[in-house]
Each structure stands twice: as C-alpha cells, then as structure tokens.
Amino acid sequence: MLYFALIMSKKNNYFKHFLSIDSLSKHQIQDIISVANGFFNQDGSIIQSTALQGKTIANLFFENSTRTKSTFELSAKKLSVNVLNVDINHSATSKGESLLDMILNLQAMQVDAFVIRHPNAGAPLFVASQLKNEAVIINAGDGSHSHPTQAMLDIFTIWQHKKDFQSLKITIVGDILHSRVARSLIMALNIMQVGEIRVVAPRTLMPSNTDVLGVHYYPDIDEALVDVDVIVMLRLQKERMNHAYIPSGSEFCHQYGLNETRLKLAKKDAIVMHPGPTNRGVEIAPQIADSPQSVILNQVTNGIVIRMAVMMMTMGADT
C-alpha cells in the first residue's frame, strides 16, 4: 500500500472513471501496476484491507459474466467495499427505466461506484459523460469496444514475467475483429511501446485497419510464433462458428490452435496467456493450458489485484 500512499498524496482521486485504455499514459499504466503489485503478500496471497470501508459498489451486468462479476465482487471485499449485485432482469430497468436513471437512483442510495458490463459499445462512457457528480464508472466490458481491466491484468501478467516491454515480441491469435479483449490489449501494448505485436486470425476475423492498430498481420500461425516472448490465445466464441466466419472447431484447431509443436517455435521461456474460459482442444491443447509456460491462472489472480488497484485509484482518497 506504500506506493498507493505515495501517488495519492498528490491529489484526491487518481482517476475519475476507468472507461478505456486509450486515454491512459505509459506512466499511468506503470502506476496501476505498482499499486496492484502492492496488494500481494510475500507468500503470493492477497491482503485483506479496510482501505475502502464504508464505500459501496454496484455490479450492473447487462450481459451474463459470472467470472468477471465474481472477480469484481471478490476484489471489492478484499478492500472492505460493500457490494450490491443488482438483478438486472428483475430491476426497474427491465420495466423501461433508463440506465442513467438507475444509476442516479443508486447513487442517491449512496452507491459510490458502478461496475458496468453492457452489450452496447460506449454505454459506460455515455453514462459517465451524463453524470454531474462524483459517482465513479468502471467499464467491465462494452460490446466489442473495450475491456480495460482485462487489458490491464494482461499487461500486469506480462510485466510480472518479462519486466521490460520494449524488447518484447508478442503474438495474439484468434478473433481480432470482434474481441474487446484484443482491442484493449493491443492499445495497452502500444502505449507500453512493445517491440513487436503480431496478430494471427482467419481473414474473416481480422479488422481492416491493422496499420492503425500498430500490429503486423500474419495469416500463418507458425510464422507468427517464431521467436516470440508472449503468446496470447483468444477464446473462440462458439457463435462465430454458427455464423460461418470459420469452418468448424476442429478445422480452427488445425489451422490456428496452439499445440506443443507450435509452442516450440517461440522462445524457450515464452509465456502462454488466455483470457479464459478456454476451449480446450479448440484454440489451445490441454497439455499447453496446464504446462509450466501457461500463466492462465496467474492472469485470473492478477485480475483481483488489478481490480483492487482500479477501485483504490478511483474511489480512494489520500488519508
């Protein structure tokens, strides 16, 4: 918590909201990493703190995501934040109340921050722009736009294992076109001035603006893996298969799946990442997911400290 005290002595709240990666500076990302890292005990467990006692967050998940909702809930409780899980299906919003009205009411009930997952890109940003007061909006994924806490936990995991970003070669494999995870991660990697970002995907799952993204497109995964430090496998959404973007799960596995032969193309100490949950035997072979090079469960753990850091840096004042 020392580092947090240090950076907070300068101002009241480090961030007003936490909406997307693109507004962050390299320095700010480094600060988030430092605050998050401070939550680990020596033995790798995570501290229990009363730092935000008396604060309340509301989880507003307009898309089901038990996993992300759970990490926000657990992170909040580690900081003694009260958590309100709003049942969207039975709420007044389902009766026509607007998202903004809902938030104004919850804010009047003394909710301090809102964790929003929404199918519409830009919904958290819109709400934040309409609020005139001190409520905090944290984006937990909006459409195919942004998933900034996921990108930050990915960056944190790379930092944990590799420290220096500028010398790194990183390959991202999967549905680049629809993935808010890929989109946010690529932005963050560019901010951190990563040496090289390679992306691999079927052409139907690639955006057209690869040059704007600052990435190199590889149609062939084997070429893309040569000599890289970090491999990020994206989850293959089953619904993409139904819409004929790709032929089938096994065909995808054959062309783009990470297996032991392919992993050998990368550097010896390359790490394998995946935002989870994995489709074992589709985008990733089970023995890779469970291998020492896999840092998939580290990512999950880091998701807790990153969300704690984001809560501290939006809701926490210096003391």
Q: Which residues bind a copy of itself (CB under 8 A)?
A: 45-48, 53-54, 56, 64, 66-67, 70-71, 73-74, 77-78, 82, 84, 86-87, 90-92, 95, 97, 101, 104-106, 108-111, 276-278, 297-298, 300-301, 303-304
Describe the crossing of helices 148-162 and 26-37 by its angle, rounded to 10 degrees. Answer: 70
Q: Which two tokens stand for residue 177?
A: 């076109």
Work out how close the CB of 65 gets to a copy of itself at its nearest, in angstroms, rounded to a whole number: 8
Work out how close the CB of 48 gets to a copy of itself at its nearest, in angstroms, rounded to a whole number: 3
Dist CA 91 CA 95 (whole Å): 7
Cis, bond preceding 292 (omega within 30 deg of 0)? no
Work out how close the CB of 97 gets to a copy of itself at its nearest, in angstroms, rounded to a whole number: 5
Report the DSSP beta bridge partners of residue 217. 199
Closest CB to a copy of itself among residues 89, 166: 89
Work out how close the CB of 138 gets to a copy of itself at its nearest, in angstroms, rounded to a whole number: 17
Largest CA distance in the chain: 57
CB proximity list for 303: less than 8 A, separation 6 or greater: 71, 75, 149, 150, 153
Work out how close the CB of 225 gets to a copy of itself at its nearest, in angstroms, rounded to a whole number: 25
Judge contact between 4 and 316, C-beta under 8 A: yes
Dist CA 281 CA 169 (whole Å): 25
Dist CA 44 CA 65 (whole Å): 26
Closest CB to a copy of itself among residues 5, 92: 92
Work out how close the CB of 84 gets to a copy of itself at its nearest, in angstroms, rounded to a whole number: 6
Closest CB to a copy of itself among residues 79, 186: 79
Report the DSSP beta bridge partners of residue 138. 18, 115
Closest CB to a copy of itself among residues 154, 224: 154
Dist CA 212 CA 46 (whole Å): 38
Report the DSSP beta bridge partners of residue 294. 272
Work out how close the CB of 190 gets to a copy of itself at its nearest, in angstroms, rounded to a whole number: 28
Dist CA 127 CA 292 (whole Å): 42
Work out how close the CB of 226 gets to a copy of itself at its nearest, in angstroms, rounded to a whole number: 30
Distances (CA, A) of 268 to 87, 171, 261: 47, 15, 12
Describe the crossing of helices 296-315 and 66-78 by its angle, rounded to 10 degrees. Answer: 60
Closest CB to a copy of itself among residues 122, 276: 276
Burial classification of residue 161, based on how many CB atoms lie within 10 Å of its CB (0-12 exposed, 13-18 middle, 19 or more buried):
middle
Closest CB to a copy of itself among residues 58, 197: 58
Closest CB to a copy of itself among residues 134, 251: 134
Closest CB to a copy of itself among residues 97, 222: 97
Closest CB to a copy of itself among residues 61, 165: 61
Q: How many residues does the chain have?
A: 319
